[in-house]
Structure 1
């Protein structure tokens, strides 16, 4: 079995959201509770850190340069010159932004959750580059991994407490026909962030499961990657050929975290990912 390597040794409280930025040749990821955006260039080992003024649930590259952020109080933009501005601001007490993903058309699908994880307290919304926001799923608990099949006809989604990876039919803007793709059994952890590979299989990080799993398009479990960290949070393919799987991890809530908890790990040459579109805004 292909083993993991340490890409960036860190002590992120809640590392999340790895995303390969093809335009800059770097992996970007975040520490939600630490309010930090990390950048890592595997070719040069150059690392960058930018702090945010509030909890940041996701970060994605923009088509014209810069970043889009899913923050506590809404969607923010970092311009290429480093300046910050709000695209959509909507503060809901007790709620923050969580995982997000960019659809094939460049829209951001941004999730939210209550800090206490209460059922029905979170949402999943579609945000266009112009800042138009439409709530697609109005009542979820912990909105997490979102991704699309290679042909763009299916959308995969995780609401973590359900223990399921769900799949929807997708027409480019709307979702319908929600049904389970796979369910994580008791004792194996909870599904968190996910990514879809070039074969249409879904890779999902298992919070409290110390592993990443791969499920085929028909929902069969066909690969398990054990990890040393109890709380892997999300995964994404990166590198010039998109064959290296990067995995973020968390140390929050652990009485005795593993020394690598909170680090960015990588499993080289484990598969082949899909190019990820940048946000159209």
Structure 2
């Protein structure tokens, strides 16, 4: 196996949420609460954009507000203004859960809504949910009884959503109503027999890429669910991925060291693999009132 380029000198505990946006790559180290950017050189440390006092799963840029982010963090969803050092909570629906919970992966869809999953710290079966932040700032639980949600990922027009339940080794495909944005009945898309599906993204051909935790691989699946390509990696726990770079043809993959009794030299690294089919930059969250500094605080609505 040829070792792919390693981006940055850091080794992350739980690297996730990698996104190509505004000409750069950002990512999270979930349990440390850090939002990071890739450096210019391969031997330089990652740049810290900000650090939250709680787990930080993933972010989406806010349209029209450079440097502002919507984030899946702590027990809910918040707005981050790193320049002002301000975190505004939009909703914290997992505050009163029966077991300790945290947010995990999240992404904005092509229509400007933000979707994020929650999971129990101890991966309690069926404790997780999927939430949607609408453009008006309202947070809704749209799916429940998930153990470890990862993704979601959307097709180009936002009418199809892929969501992994990593603990069960499955990826499901949901139709998404273009008017209400509610997901319909799921259908099985992929069931893995080795490793667990983790972070996901789609490319311009409508194929789905997923990191496979525990297998040291990334898989590309065609829209019919057939396996198209396997990328072998020198890190056993790839967790997040995106397609980025100036031409969209660089597969960027985060990995994790957490839980490994004897991590290898590239466990926790950020890796880059050139691919033939490009993706698109991360979709932004688009608040209904683009002049607002942040979505309204709806923490009391859940």
Which residue of structure 1 aligns with residue 167 of structure 2? 161
Structure 1 stretch 35-44 or stretch 208-217: which is displaced more?
35-44
Number of the residue aligned with 1:9 = 9
Whole-angstrom CA distance in 2 between matches of 1:34 and 1:80 = 16
Q: CA deviation at 1:177?
A: 2.6
SS in 2 for 1:175: coil
Rounded to whole Å, the distance in 2 between the matches of 1:46 and 1:228 is 20
1:33: which partner in 2? 31
Which position in structure 2 is the counterpart of 1:69? 71
- Residue 122 (structure 2) pairs with residue 116 (structure 1): yes
Alignment partners' CA distance in 1, 2:145 and 2:275: 38
User: How far 1:3 sits from its partner (Å)?
Assistant: 5.7
Output the aligned Cα RMSD.
1.9
The Cα offsets for residues 240-274 of structure 1, whole Å up to 9 and x where unpaired, read as 22111100000000011111111111112443102
Shift of 1:15: 0.5
Give the structure 2 partner of residue 89 of structure 1.
92
- Match of residue 189, structure 2, among 181, 184, 188: 181
User: Contact between 1:150 and 1:199, CA under 8 Å: does it hold in 2?
Assistant: no
The corresponding residue for 2:263 is: 257
Q: Is there any run of 5+ residues in structure 2 with no aligned partner, and where?
A: 288-302
- 2:80 paired residue number: 78
How do 1:1-281 residues align onto structure 2 when only pairs under 5 Å count?
4-22=4-22, 25-40=23-38, 42=40, 47-49=46-48, 50-63=50-63, 64-65=65-66, 66-79=68-81, 81-82=83-84, 83-90=86-93, 91-92=95-96, 94-172=100-178, 173-185=181-193, 188-281=194-287
The alpha carbon displacement at 1:67 in A equals 1.0
Q: C-alpha deviations, 1:205-240, integer Å up to 9, x for none?
A: 011010000000000101000001000001101112
Contact kept, 8 Å, 1:2 with 1:270, in 2: the verdict is: no
- Partners of 1:76 and 1:59 lie apart in 2 by 9
Decide which moves more: 168-177 or 39-48: 39-48
Partner-residue secondary structure (3-state), 2:263 = coil
Post-superposition Cα deviations, 1:102-155, rounded to whole Å, max 9, x if no partner, equal 111111111000001111111001112332011111221011121111233211
Rounded to whole Å, the distance in 2 between the matches of 1:276 and 1:43 is 22
Distance in 1 (alpha carbons) for counterparts of 2:39 and 2:243:
14
By how many angstroms is 1:19 displaced?
0.6
Between structures 1 and 2, the one with greater strand share: 1
CA distance in 1, matches of 2:41, 2:262: 33
Whether the 8 Å contact between 2:249 and 2:274 is mirrored in structure 1 is yes
More moved, 71-80 vs 195-204: 71-80
Aligned counterparts of 1:257 and 1:46: Cα–Cα separation in 2: 19
Q: Secondary structure at the match of 2:167?
A: helix
Question: d(CA) in 2 for partners of 1:117 and 1:55?
Answer: 15
TM-score by length of 2: 0.86
Question: How many pairs are equivalent?
Answer: 277
Residues 7 and 41 in structure 2, CA contact (< 8 A), matched pair in contact too = no
CA separation in 1, counterparts of 2:133 and 2:9? 33
Following superposition, the deviation at residue 181 of structure 1 comes to 1.1
